[in-house]
Structures are given as C-alpha cells and as structure tokens.
Amino acid sequence: MKEVGTVTWNIPAGEPPTLDPAQSAILSVSTVVSNVCEGLFTLGPGYEPEPALATSVEHPDPLTYKIALREGVKFWDGKAVTPEDVVYSVRRVLDPKLGSSWISWATNLRSIDVTGRSEVTIRLAKPDALVPNFFAMPAFYVVQKDFAEAAGRDFGSAEGGLMCTGPYKVANWTQAQHLTLTRNDGWWNTAARPKVENVRFTFITDPSAQAAALAGGEVDGQFIVPPSAYGRLEEKGHLLFGPSMSPTFLSVLNPQGPLGDPAIRQAFQAVIDYKGILGAVYKGTAQPLRALVPPEAWGYAKDLYQAEYDRLPEPAQDLARAAKLLGGSAKAKEKIVLAYTTAIDEENQTATAIADSATRAGLNVELKPLTAEQYGAVFTSPPARAGIDLFLSSGYLDFPEPLAYYQFFTTGSFYNFGGYSNKAYDAAITAAIAAEDPAARAREVAKAQTIMATDLVNIPIVTQSLNVYYARHLTGLVPRQTYVNTPWAASLGGE
C-alpha cells in the first residue's frame, strides 16, 4: 500500500460528544477512539485476542488474572506507560460519578493492583467468564493518569484534550465542523505503522447529504452507508459488506405505559412487516432476527445456540393475531411514543414503516424523531428518555459472546433502561457468568434468551450486514465489527 496524506471520513451518527474512552460505547465516539486509545489486548480478524499494551495474561485460579505489561510503550507526549497508569485507568472507569457503561464488567471484581514493575493483578470475588473479553475493550483502555487528573471533567473534550498511546493522536477538533487525527510516529507497534498520515472526520448526519459528499469525493469514506446510496456509490469506489454482530430492535422504555401490557407488546410485534422492511429498507442486506443477539455473535457452542434459536418463532407479520390481542386489551387505544434517530436512514425508514403498520392495525403510535445528539443522550441520560415508550436503535456486540449483551437486561443493569426485572432471567445470567465451560454457559444463556423472547421487553427486527465505503484511490480496509474497538484507520492506504 502507498502512503496517503489525508483521508476525510464521515461519522453518520454525528459529532462525538467526547473522546473519553470511558464513554466509548456509542458509534460516534468509538469510531474515533478506537484509533487513538488502546487496551491491554486487541482483537484480531477472527475476534481472537492479540497482545497490545499487555503481552500475556496468566489465570492461575478461577479468581485471579496476572497481566504482564509491554515495556517501553510511551504516551503521545513521550512519557512512559506505567502499571500505575493502567490501574488508574481501570479504576477511573469504575467510578460511578463518571457514568461509564463499561463499569458493568466489574460486577464480580474484588481488586486491581500493581503487583510488579510491569505487572498488574486482577482478583475477583466470584468466577466470571466474561472478564477476559474486556481486556481488549475500552474498559481497559489506558490513559495517562497525570494528564487525566489535570484535565478533570474536561478530559476527552475539545478543550481538555486526551492522552493515550494509539497509532493516531488528536491534532485538531473544531466543534460542529471537523476533528482531525494525525499519525503517532512514536507508536510501539512499528510493524503496523499506518499509511495514512491524517484522518479528518466530518459529521454529516443527513443520509442524502452523506451520499452526495461520498459520490462527489468531498468525503473519502464512511461506515454504515445508507442503502439508498448503494447504487450511486458502487460504481464510484469500494462498497464492501461483511457479517455483523449488530441487532436493530425496539426497546420498551416505559413499562408504566400501554406497553406494560404483554398483549400490547405481542400485538406490536405482530403488526411489523418484517419482509417489507427487509426488502424496501435494507435492500436485501439484512436478515430477520428471532432473538436479540444475532447468530454471528455465537462464538462458541454454535450447534446448541442454533437449536435453541430455531425453537423461537420466526418473525412474520400476523395482523389477525394482532387484532385479537388488541381486542382484549384495555390499553389498545393509548398513545405509544416511538423514538428513533433521523441520522440513520434505515432506522428512519424502519420507524416510519412500523408506525404505519401499527396505525393501520389500530394502535395509536406517535413518532418522535431525534437528532444524532438527542439519540446519543437517550443512552446516557434518564431525562432524555422521558416521554418515550418505545425506542428503535441498533446496538452491537463488541465480541462474539451472547452473554455480554444479555447481561445488560438483568435487574439494575446500566443499559436496562426500562427497568426490566425477571428472577428467572437474572438467575440464568448469573449461572452463565459463573460457567467457564462453554456448553454449560450456552445452555444458561439460551434459557435467558427464551425468557426475554417471551417477555418481549425488546422486540428484535433485523441484523444488517456491516458495510463500508471508501474511494477508489484507497485500499486495505475490510468491514469487520471489530472496527469499533480496533484501529481500523491503520489498515487503510493508497492503492
């Protein structure tokens, strides 16, 4: 691959509210942060863990992880990374005042301490099969302690700045306009030195404007290109598709409203025209979902997961069933506010299609379009969720472990926005977390999956193939779900 001076890349979800890696759990943030900050490990092409700021991990007993840190790594300012920086970074994420969703990994954490010149040790109170996966996640991204403490609440903002170790560093951030990263020539991983010197991010959220900017060459690339632009772009450059661990689904945010009635939830599921949405909205680049977690995320015990998945009902529109359910519910005429983002073309169209079908079936649905900024706030701010009954969103799994997503809906979990609580569901998730044997874990996860599918606190719709577009003069980038947590820009270069 050839060297490239500057690549302009668009973030369709809009401008990130912060670059603090502790908040890297929404696409606008993670698309940038994955190139600037690093964890102890990273994920390879097949989601396998590979050494990054750590070189190895020992697991001498079910409660202990001894992590050997890579020596000689430096932050962008030239200061050496220390075990104290690592421990500080992890403990910072665990501070409830910070409001990081990554705190959820540490349910069973007892301690994390410096235990050697280049070693940190994690001790658990109870066995937790999920923990090793997070070593490659933002939960373990390392920031410089002194810099973060000095920046305080401004850390990660355009004013406060950032100090990490990754292949790119922040060069300029002009809010509401663009954000530019420049290559970190002091990056420890010399074998993977980026070919692109600068990555300039733009924040075009309107799907039509995105297509025009990409087709006209003002923007060189983008993840999650709107389907309406496929025909226009496939002749212009590289439009690539890959398997996805991303579900698009409806979440019940207000169980005190009409959706607190199971019959209304079941009726809502039955009125959705899945086949029509797959064809008209996704242009054949998506598959319907029977459960919240897509099959691509079954990283183990695949035969067991497949068998349990096949037992769940196939999603299909059934207007007769919906009418019967609505006829027996006293809440059938109550207003249901369905919120969605206008920044993602597919979700805009899907929400409209769902509302049309629901209205024709006799439901009283009011659409609530959200800007990219409002949409992001729903994930972090309870006041932003006020007045919303049903929320259409697309999530993603960071690694192929269904348990990682299903644990979000246990009682009291950060992402359990609707306050779902089911003792049998919680018990299955708790048993799965404690099971190091993959088959035993899969059986418990499948049990929880069935309970959730019955309760319908989430209504799965589709899993869309991951896509990426970039200009003809570029090469190297393969669409993988790992782009949200690995330095994808380092794989780009000139053709």
Q: Answer yes or no: is pLDDT of 465 > 90.
A: yes
The predicted pLDDT at position 345 comes to 85
Q: How much is the average pLDDT of 92-110? A: 93
DSSP string over 107-151: TTEEEEEEEETTEEEEEESS--TTGGGGGGSGGG----HHHHHHH
Confidence of residue 25 (pLDDT cuts 50, 70, 90): confident
Residue 117 exposed, middle or buried by CB count within 10 Å (0-12, 13-18, 19+):
exposed
pLDDT at 376: 85
Mean pLDDT for 176-193 is: 97
- Please report which residue ranges of 227-290 form alpha helices under DSSP H: 230-233, 262-271, 274-280
Work out the average pLDDT over 429-448: 96
Neighbours of 338 (CB within 10 A): 22
Q: Is pLDDT of 271 > 90?
A: yes
Provide the percentage of residues in the chain whose pLDDT is more than 90: 92
Which positions ≥6 away from 24 have C-beta within 8 Å?
30, 33, 34, 37, 102, 138, 141, 485
pLDDT tier, 208 (very low <50, low <70, confident <90, very high otherwise): very high
The pLDDT assigned to 372 comes to: 82
Q: Give the CA distances from residue 450 to residues 49, 245, 315, 329, 334, in Å, rounded to whole numbers and listed in that order.
A: 30, 19, 14, 24, 28
Domains and CATH numbers, the chain: 1-35+166-242+466-495 (3.40.190.10), 37-155 (3.90.76.10), 247-464 (3.10.105.10)
Over 90: is that where the pLDDT of 414 sits?
A: no
Separation of alpha carbons 233 and 207, rounded Å? 13
Q: Which residues contact residue 75 at a Cβ distance below 8 angstroms, ignoring those fewer than 6 apart?
A: 81, 144, 147, 163, 164, 165
pLDDT at res. 380: 83
The yes-or-no verdict on residue 26 having pLDDT over 90 is no
**Euclidean distance between CA atoms 84 and 69, whole angstroms:** 11
pLDDT digits (tens, 9 = 90+) for 67-82: 999 999 999 999 999 9
pLDDT band at 101 (very low <50, low <70, confident <90, very high): confident
Q: What is the mean pLDDT of the chain?
A: 95
Residue 306's pLDDT is 97
Residue 373 confidence (pLDDT): 85
Identify the pLDDT of residue 344. 84
**Measuring CA to CA, how many Å separate 312 from each of 315, 386, 451?**
9, 32, 11
Q: Is the pLDDT of residue 139 over 90?
A: yes
pLDDT band at 152 (very low <50, low <70, confident <90, very high): very high
What confidence tier does 415 reach under pLDDT thresholds 50, 70, 90?
confident
How far is C-alpha 324 from the chain's CA centre? Answer: 37
Q: How far apart are CA 154 and CA 310, in angstroms?
A: 49
